């Protein structure tokens, strides 16, 4: 009897040990704990999509910490009391694994996602007395909010919740009334700055990069990584106007790294991540026909003419020696400089439609953050390097390097304004992340360093409409927006904000100011 009891006890113990050793079932854990908010397909519902492409730097230990402790100021609870450490680790591994197939996200899915919050009203002027041309839209990434700031008094007009993880610059209609935001989950939101109201939203992709607005303000282009599409939306009601299934002329599919507006050309220019083509898409309804040439068809074993197109959304393919992302354009939009892999940059002449120069630009230039101005009688552009504490200044005529300006560490953004002789840049990617460098655009020397708060990341500067004030972010969850006098560099005001990742001045954006991003 005793022996049987002992045996039974041993069997129970063995079973328990075995249970403790069994691998946690991540699929079941996800279905039980996460699917309700993040979707059984991981594509997002109330909560964001949980795909490696969308999570970016939120993967690994950071994702584990969020699952364990939750996220403040969101509906994400902490699971530390409910799930064991190995179960949390299994969930992290699960959401870090790409989906086996690229999900379908076409016209039907986009249209079905539409949320209409309010109708636009007919108004002659805004509902407030602040200058509508000097408003700032401040994206607060810490708790996924946006603040609309009066750029004369530096006082918030309103603050509202945005979609999770906005990325890239919001884009404004040419009259400055409406602004469009985009989230990494592909949500595009239309907001009325005159009534301070969110109007409508659609999900144009599953993992999106950025948006651009057409010269006439009628169309929005959405660059997607997932699926491989470039989506055209009407700015009126966010309805789908066209979806480009992005493939090169040989049929190879590609992610879209970014899309930009080229105002003098009345077109969008898109950077393709995986193929050696740049796409130009007409936003002029009367655009002349584009003949994209011929291709060898492996299926049919013959040379085939590619379909030509004309008018609105006519597609022109520009072949380049290798995939380029992160573009900077010269002011007339005749040339672009794009970064290729291995520290190389390629200049493409958009008029003739081919590459004209290759440059060595080691240190990973962040061309999208570049700015340009006239120096010593010639046009120059300057771009921070993501891997080195340097600013590279290039002559835009012959693309030679005019100067390399040393900064305390690698930076991400650079900003200026027509009415200031200074350019401001950060060192947020290095040890001196708390320090901004102010460069004199005449001497190309750093003339001042500013540390808004020791030990706290300082980054992303934007000027007001007049260029007299520079607004700087303290890029922390308990961060701030700091207003500086742009001539004396003295601090004028500090507004608490939650990781204000970017700020965008209506006037500077709609006039394509030299010192800011477009």
What are the residues whose beta carbons fall under 8 Å from the beta carbon of 280, sequence distance 6 or more?
Answer: 262, 265, 267, 268, 269, 270, 315, 316, 318, 350
Q: How far is the CB of 151 from ligand DHE (least distance, A)?
A: 15
Contact 56, 124 (CB under 8 A): no
Q: How far is the CB of 56 from ligand DHE (least distance, A)?
A: 4
Q: How far is the CB of 263 from ligand DHE (least distance, A)?
A: 14
283 binds ligand DHE (CB under 6 A): no
N residues, the chain? 518
Q: How many CB atoms lie within 10 A of CB 234?
A: 12
Q: Which backbone phi and psi does 159 adopt, to 5 degrees?
A: -140, 135
214 binds ligand DHE (CB under 6 A): no
517 binds ligand DHE (CB under 6 A): yes
Q: Contact with ligand DHE (CB under 6 A): which of 227, 368, 467, 500?
A: 368
56 binds ligand DHE (CB under 6 A): yes
Residue (24 or 502) nearer to ligand DHE, CB = 502
60 binds ligand DHE (CB under 6 A): no
412 binds ligand DHE (CB under 6 A): yes
Angstrom distance (rounded) from CA 112 to CA 202: 8
Task: Give the 3-state secondary structure of 248-310.
Answer: CCCCCECCEEEEEEEHHHCEEEEEECCCCEEEEEECCCCCCCECCCEEEECCCCEEEECCCEC
Residue (243 or 461) nearer to ligand DHE, CB = 461
Quick one: which segment of 91-99, 115-123, 150-158, 163-171 binds ligand DHE (CB under 6 A)? Answer: 163-171
Quick one: which segment of 75-83, 165-173, 187-195, 434-442 binds ligand DHE (CB under 6 A)? Answer: 165-173
Q: Contact with ligand DHE (CB under 6 A): which of 44, 151, 168, 515?
A: 168
Q: How far is the CB of 226 from ligand DHE (least distance, A)?
A: 13
Q: How far is the CB of 460 from ligand DHE (least distance, A)?
A: 6
Contact 483, 118 (CB under 8 A): no
169 binds ligand DHE (CB under 6 A): yes
Q: Contact with ligand DHE (CB under 6 A): which of 292, 502, 505, 506?
A: 502
Name the DSSP letter for residue 37.
H
501 binds ligand DHE (CB under 6 A): yes
Residue (151 or 502) nearer to ligand DHE, CB = 502
Pairing of the two strands 422-425 and 414-415: antiparallel
Name the DSSP letter for residue 263.
G
**Tokens representing 172?**
């404004």
Site string for ligand DHE, 26-45 (x = CB under 6 A): --------------------
Residues within window 191-210 making contact with ligand DHE, judged by CB under 6 A: 210
311 binds ligand DHE (CB under 6 A): no
Residue (24 or 189) nearer to ligand DHE, CB = 189
Name the DSSP letter for residue 119.
P
Pairing of the two strands 414-415 and 240-245: unpaired
83 binds ligand DHE (CB under 6 A): no
Quick one: which segment of 166-174, 234-242, 335-343, 445-453 binds ligand DHE (CB under 6 A)? Answer: 166-174
384 binds ligand DHE (CB under 6 A): no
Q: Which backbone phi and psi does 92 adopt, to 5 degrees?
A: -60, -45
Q: How many CB atoms lie within 10 A of CB 30?
A: 18
Q: How far is the CB of 404 from ligand DHE (least distance, A)?
A: 21
230 bridge partner residues: 223, 244
Q: Helix, strand, or coil here: 371?
A: strand
Residue (312 or 324) nearer to ligand DHE, CB = 324
Name the DSSP letter for residue 101.
S
Q: How far is the CB of 139 from ligand DHE (least distance, A)?
A: 7
The alpha-carbon radius of gyration of the chain (Å, integer) is 25
407 binds ligand DHE (CB under 6 A): no
> What's the order of all strands across the beta sheet hosting 422-425?
414-415, 422-425, 436-440, 445-450
Q: Which residues of 351-499 form beta strands (DSSP E)?
A: 354-360, 371-375, 378-384, 390-395, 401-406, 414-415, 422-425, 436-440, 445-450, 458-463, 469-474, 479-485, 491-497
Q: How far is the CB of 33 from ligand DHE (least distance, A)?
A: 26
**Residues in contact with ligand DHE by the rule CB under 6 A:** 56, 141, 167-169, 210, 258, 326, 368, 412, 460, 501-502, 517
């Amino acid at each position: 009897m005793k022996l049987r009891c002992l045996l039974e006890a041993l069997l129970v113990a063995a079973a328990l040990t075995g249970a403790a050793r069994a691998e946690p079932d991540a699929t079941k854990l996800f279905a039980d704990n996460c699917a309700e908010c993040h979707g059984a397909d991981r594509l997002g519902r109330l909560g964001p999509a949980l795909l490696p492409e969308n999570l970016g730097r939120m993967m690994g230990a950071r994702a584990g910490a969020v699952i364990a402790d939750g996220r403040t100021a969101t509906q994400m609870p902490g699971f530390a009391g409910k799930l064991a450490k190995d179960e949390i680790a299994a969930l992290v591994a699960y959401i870090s694994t790409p989906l086996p197939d690229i999900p379908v996200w076409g016209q039907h899915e986009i249209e079905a996602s539409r949320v209409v919050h309010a109708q636009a009203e007919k108004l002659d002027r805004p509902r407030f007395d602040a200058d509508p041309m000097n408003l700032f839209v401040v994206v607060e990434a810490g708790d996924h909010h946006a603040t609309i700031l009066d750029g004369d008094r530096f006082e918030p007009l309103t603050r509202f919740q945005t979609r999770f993880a906005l990325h890239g610059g919001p884009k404004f209609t040419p009259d400055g009334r409406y602004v469009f935001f985009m989230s990494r989950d592909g949500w595009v939101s239309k907001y009325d700055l005159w009534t301070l109201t969110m109007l409508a939203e659609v999900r144009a992709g599953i993992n999106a990069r950025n948006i651009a607005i057409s010269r006439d303000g009628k169309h929005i282009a959405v660059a997607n990584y997932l699926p491989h599409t470039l989506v055209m939306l009407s700015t009126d009601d966010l309805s789908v106007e066209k979806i480009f299934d992005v493939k090169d002329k040989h049929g190879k599919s590609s992610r879209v790294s970014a899309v930009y507006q080229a105002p003098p050309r009345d077109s969008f220019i898109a950077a393709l991540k995986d193929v050696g083509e740049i796409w130009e898409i007409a936003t002029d309804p009367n655009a002349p026909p584009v003949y994209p040439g011929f291709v060898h068809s492996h299926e049919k074993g013959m040379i085939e003419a590619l379909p030509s197109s004309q008018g609105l959304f006519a597609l022109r393919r520009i072949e380049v020696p290798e995939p380029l992302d992160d573009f900077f354009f010269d002011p007339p939009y005749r040339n672009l400089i794009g970064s290729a892999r291995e520290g190389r940059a390629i200049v493409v002449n958009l008029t003739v439609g081919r590459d004209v120069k290759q440059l060595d630009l080691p240190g990973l230039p962040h061309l999208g953050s570049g700015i340009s101005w006239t120096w010593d009688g010639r046009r120059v552009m300057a771009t921070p390097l993501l891997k080195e504490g340097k600013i590279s200044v290039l002559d835009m005529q012959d693309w030679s390097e005019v100067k390399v300006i040393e900064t305390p560490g690698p930076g991400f953004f650079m900003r200026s304004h027509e009415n200031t002789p200074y350019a401001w840049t950060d060192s947020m990617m290095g040890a001196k992340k708390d320090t901004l460098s102010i460069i004199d655009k005449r001497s190309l020397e750093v003339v001042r360093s500013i540390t808004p708060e020791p030990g706290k990341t300082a980054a992303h500067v934007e000027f007001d409409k007049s260029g007299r004030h520079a607004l700087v972010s303290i890029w922390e969850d308990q961060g701030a927006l700091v207003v500086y006098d742009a001539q004396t560099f003295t601090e004028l005001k500090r507004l608490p904000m939650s990781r204000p990742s970017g700020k965008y001045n209506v006037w500077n954006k709609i006039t394509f100011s030299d010192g800011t991003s477009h």
